[in-house]
Each structure stands twice: as structure tokens, then as C-alpha cells.
């Protein structure tokens, strides 16, 4: 096991639970991170992690390039669906219905898709004849 400035080089995975481990920027050819694959128009495609690189306390997973698959194409219909989903997360589900709010979480209490103004000032309930109680 070779060590350089606190980094461990373990290509056999003997000291890292079977995971081949390399020093930052010294991984062999044919292995790339998810971001590196994405920059080349590829994705891991369901393969298992082949190795890892360590840099201090940080680690990055490495995938085999020969098993990577092309990225999915973003069609016009998919892009429209993404825009619709993003727009729905920018509209208050409360009584104000504002759309200039940025991102509103749909499943996080206390929001549940409602802006802070609607949470702080809930609407006054009306009875059936329209008079306030």
C-alpha cells in the first residue's frame, strides 16, 4: 500500500473493503466519474461502481467507460414536461396563488406547496351565507 500525503493507493482493494482505490488524478485509463462521463455524452447505464478516487476526506466513484451508455436524448416533449413541473413548483397552492415565489417544496412541512405569507396569514373561514363568524 503506497501512501502520499495522507492519500491511499490501493488498486487491489485490499484495504478498502474490496473497492479499488486510487490517488486523485492517478486513476487508470478507462475509468471516469459520473461528471466526466456526462461531459462525453455518456451515463453509467446501471453498472456497478468499478473503483474510487480519494482526495483528503472526499471520494469520487469511478465507472468503466466501455460499459457506459449514451445519455438519453431530451426531446421537445420531455423538455415541455420539465418546464411544466418546474412551473408547478413555483406557484403557491394556497389562496394567494402567486407565481413570483421561486421554488416551493411540495412535500416539506410546514409548507406543503404553500408560501410563507399564506402560512402566516391563513384565510378567514366563511359560513354558508357569506358572513364571517
Count of C-beta atoms within a 10 Å radius of residue 49: 15
Same domain, 7 and 54: yes
* Segments in 1-94 forming alpha helices (H): 34-39, 76-88
On whether the pTM is more than 0.85, the answer is: no
Same domain, 30 and 61: yes
The domain in which residue 103 lies consists of: 76-120
Whether 128 is covered by a domain: the verdict is no
Whether 113 is covered by a domain: the verdict is yes
Instruction: Give, in order, the Cα–Cα distances in Å from 117 to each of 58, 82, 96, 101.
Output: 40, 27, 8, 11
The number of residues making up the chain comes to 133
Each residue's pLDDT tens digit in the chain (133 positions)?
444 444 477 766 666 667 888 888 888 899 999 999 999 999 999 999 998 888 878 889 999 999 999 998 889 999 999 988 888 777 777 777 777 667 776 665 556 777 777 777 766 666 555 555 5
Same domain, 86 and 34: no
Amino acid at each position: 500500500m503506497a501512501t502520499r500525503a495522507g492519500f491511499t493507493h490501493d488498486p487491489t482493494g485490499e484495504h478498502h473493503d474490496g473497492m479499488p482505490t486510487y490517488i486523485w488524478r492517478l486513476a487508470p485509463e478507462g475509468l471516469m466519474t459520473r461528471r466526466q462521463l456526462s461531459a462525453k455524452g455518456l451515463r453509467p447505464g446501471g453498472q456497478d461502481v468499478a473503483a474510487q478516487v480519494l482526495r483528503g476526506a472526499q471520494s469520487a466513484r469511478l465507472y468503466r467507460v466501455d460499459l457506459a451508455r449514451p445519455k438519453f436524448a431530451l426531446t421537445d416533449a420531455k423538455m415541455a414536461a420539465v418546464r411544466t413541473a418546474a412551473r408547478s413548483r413555483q406557484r403557491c397552492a394556497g389562496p394567494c396563488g402567486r407565481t413570483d415565489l421561486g421554488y416551493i417544496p411540495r412535500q416539506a412541512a410546514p409548507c406543503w406547496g404553500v408560501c410563507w405569507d399564506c402560512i402566516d396569514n391563513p384565510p378567514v373561514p366563511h359560513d354558508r351565507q357569506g358572513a364571517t363568524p
